[in-house]
């Protein structure tokens, strides 16, 4: 995946080309990105009412090596945002 593009950006730009099961995964990731970052393949499959194999194919279709790759990119994206927790850590560590 191109590092300059966000995970959600990739998902949104390809959304119209997804099959129905892939759209379920995309919808879940868009609506629950922080929760999804801590899930396993099976948990995401159950939460999006799809299968483990569909989640894996979805990740590759989005340009990731697999689920772990998507999860790491999503986590990095969430941490890079200026969240209140991140700001607190940044302020505290800069003392």
pLDDT in 10s for each residue of the chain, 95 residues: 445 468 999 999 999 999 999 999 999 999 999 999 999 999 999 999 999 999 999 999 999 999 999 999 999 998 887 555 544 444 444 44
pTM of the model as a whole = 0.80
Rg (CA), the chain: 14
Nearest C-alpha neighbor of 30 from the set 9, 63, 8, 52:
8
Cα–Cα distance for residue pair 9/71, rounded to 1 Å? 14
Instruction: Check residue 84 and give its pLDDT.
Output: 54
Q: Mapped to the 3 state alphabet, what secondary structure does 15-32 carry?
A: HHHCCHHHHHHHHHHHHC
């Amino acid at each position: 995946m191109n590092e300059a593009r966000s995970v959600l950006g990739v998902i949104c730009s390809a959304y119209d080309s997804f099959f129905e099961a892939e759209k379920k995964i995309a919808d879940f990731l868009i609506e629950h990105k922080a929760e999804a970052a801590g899930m396993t393949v099976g948990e995401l499959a159950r939460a999006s009412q799809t299968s483990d194999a569909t989640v894996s194919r979805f990740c590759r279709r989005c340009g990731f090596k697999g689920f772990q790759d998507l999860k790491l990119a999503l986590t990095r994206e969430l941490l890079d945002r200026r969240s209140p927790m991140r700001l607190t850590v940044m302020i505290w560590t800069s003392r």
